[in-house]
Amino acid sequence: MKKKYVIAVDLGGTKIACALTDLEGNIINENTIPTNAQEGEQEVLKRMFLVIEKVLEDSKKNSDEIKAIGIGSPGPLDSDKGIILDPPNLPLKNVDIVKYIEDRFKIKTYLENDANAAAIGEYLFGAGKETRNMVYITVSTGIGAGAIIDGKIYRGATCNALELGHVTILPDGPRCNCGNFGCLEVLASGTAIAREANKNLAHGIESSLNNYKKITSYEVFKEASLGDKMSLEVVNKALGYLGIGIANAITAFDPQKVIIGGGVAMAGDMLFDKVRKVVKERCFKVLNESCEIVQASLKTKSGIIGAAAVAITESK
């Protein structure tokens, strides 16, 4: 029997999403459950099994109709060995996740860093379809990235390439969770934008953000778009740094496209106009003119379709 489906698992700190897709990345059936990370390793593994079984059952498919399982997970991990090493938001430490899943379901399983998975998803089924070289960058709570080089995901020597959230943008900048100072993530992530706005409010700076109980980057972008001066300043500063990070990635990788995803990219024109302006100012003309900077097209499905794309490409 020709195997025409894959299972995709998007493992996150708060929820586990699972889907059965065809080999073109179309979702046939999907389900999401809470990760219950605080309950520890065994519980998280149990819940992964549960959601995969549920999706198989609801799709009325047997294991032998499934070509492969793809897992997108926060790093650090070793995709060659199929081991999740020690992600900050998951109680999984040196867990042979691929072996666990393969033993249970008898389906060939592949593990990939979540940003790399989303990059592969955009390359196969999204905004990167016509490229051979592209950089994907996701800007949300944190900042992650992945690169497709000559049609293949680029992992680097230790599977940690493209940690673009942790390149230094401002040598004397604020301290990042990673220990370094002035990382892109501490300057331009959604968390950074909300932190700056909250700091300004605490200093008594006048702003329409005072009307909100809780402020995330979403509210800051919203008020900026309505003309709130403080919100605009915070957003512009962060996007200026994001633009530098992306300009530096273009200068290093000379890609055909930079694809920006993640919650913060939903800000749309306000983000893309500023980033493109900074790239134009800071990159060689030939690089700026040849590289398109576009929004990710898989949007909220980038995690799950990315995991499906990992299963599809790796099992070819």
Side-chain half-sphere exposure of 98, counting CA atoms within 13 A: 19
Query: Binder to a copy of itself among 47, 155, 274, 301 (CB under 8 A)?
Result: 155
- Pick 170 or 201: Cβ nearer a copy of itself: 170
CA dist 2 → 22, 67, 109, 288, 305 (Å): 12, 9, 18, 45, 21
Site for a copy of itself in 95-134 (CB under 8 A): 132-133
Among 124, 137, 153, 169, binds a copy of itself (CB under 8 A): 169
Round to whole Å and give the CA distance between 315 and 308: 11
- x/- map, 246-275, a copy of itself, by CB under 8 A: -xxx-xxxxxx-------------------
| Backbone phi, psi, residue 16, to 5° | -115, 120
- Is residue 180 a contact point for a copy of itself (CB under 8 A)? yes
Q: Give Cα 61 to chain centroid, integer Å.
A: 29
> For residue 130, which of 153, 151, 146 has the smallest C-alpha distance?
151
Burial, 86: exposed, middle or buried (Cβ in 10 Å; 0-12, 13-18, 19+)? middle
Residues in the chain: 316
Site for a copy of itself in 208-247 (CB under 8 A): 240-241, 244, 247
The stretch near a copy of itself (CB under 8 A) out of 90-98, 196-204, 280-288, 293-301 is 280-288
**Closest approach of Cβ 291 to a copy of itself, in Å?**
7
CB of 272 to a copy of itself, least distance (A): 19
Smaller CB distance to a copy of itself: residue 23 or 161? 161
CB neighbourhood size of 314 (10 A): 19
156 makes contact with a copy of itself (CB under 8 A): yes
d(CA 151, CA 24): 17
Beta-bridge partners for 181: 175
Exactly one of 45, 149, 201, 270 binds a copy of itself (CB under 8 A); that residue is 149
Q: Which of 154, 212, 218, 272 binds a copy of itself (CB under 8 A)?
A: 154
Helix (H) or strand (E) run with residue 17 in it = strand 15-22
The binding site for a copy of itself (CB under 8 A) comprises: 76, 132-133, 149, 154-164, 166-171, 178, 180-181, 240-241, 244, 247-249, 251-256, 281-284, 286-287, 290-291
